[in-house]
Amino acid sequence: MAGQSDSTMSLFSSEEIEFMAEDEMVEIVPNLRMDSLNFICGDYGPFYPQLAAQVPLWLALALKKRGKCTIRLPQWMSIENLTRVLEAERDSHAFQNLPFHYVEISRLLFDLAREDIPDMYMVRSLIEDIRDVRFHKVETNLEKFTASTVTWKNMSAMEVNVIRAFAGRALQAFYKHDNEQQTPDTDRTLDKQPQIPTDRPKRNLKPR
């Protein structure tokens, strides 16, 4: 099954990663009063008009579809912050600090809450540029991949998913290669040992 950890190192599908991203917390502004909502994962509310509240993204989108709230744009999605992040991504080999599910969160908000995003097309363009720069870094790092340089930080879920299968197989190959070099070849060792001749003449024992 996709996403299961097994010998084939199968990848998560984009739908599975998006499903996990829906547990991220966002801020909503209700437009009516609602009692507390009780779920297995926790209780949320009560909600009051124009009083911001923190809820999981999946709940925010469900309330948004029913016209019961607006979703506040996360601070990291502001044009000022995205512009700064894009410049830093271009100027550095390191990955800048963004939410682990920044790709999935932004895509869900673009699709289902676009009217709550000021300058949506500008925000979308900046995020796409950031994603392109970061994926270029992923490709560059994979070209230079060695077992001693696995120190990538601040990678997102989608970026980790891209390199997951490759990195896993590459590390296995490195470790297997190192072990083969350290393990002596027993066949060759035996070949190098001096052979004891077996055709020496037998000595006759003298009777007492």
CA distance 165 to 128: 24
Helix (H, G, I), strand (E, B) or coil at 65: helix
**Residue 105 half-sphere exposure, CB side, CA atoms within 13 Å?**
26
- On whether residue 185 sits in a domain, the answer given is no
- On whether residue 79 sits in a domain, the answer given is yes
Domain of 138 in residue numbering reads as 14-179
Tell me the pLDDT tens digit for each residue of 150-205.
567 898 998 888 777 666 665 565 556 556 656 555 455 555 555 555 555 555 55
pLDDT classification of 5: cutoffs 50, 70, 90:
very low
- On whether residue 8 sits in a domain, the answer given is no
H-helix or E-strand spanning residue 126: helix 120-143
User: Which CATH number characterizes residue 158's domain?
Assistant: 3.40.5.50
- On whether residue 187 sits in a domain, the answer given is no
- On whether residue 112 sits in a domain, the answer given is yes
- On whether residue 122 sits in a domain, the answer given is yes
pTM for the whole thing? 0.74
CB atoms within 10 A of CB 104: 23
Tell me the pLDDT tens digit for each residue of 105-127.
999 999 999 999 999 999 999 99
- On whether residue 133 sits in a domain, the answer given is yes
Question: Number of structural domains, the chain?
Answer: 1
- On whether residue 103 sits in a domain, the answer given is yes
Q: How far apart are the first and last CA of the chain?
A: 83
Residue-averaged pLDDT of the chain: 82
Q: Measure CA 26 to chain center.
A: 20
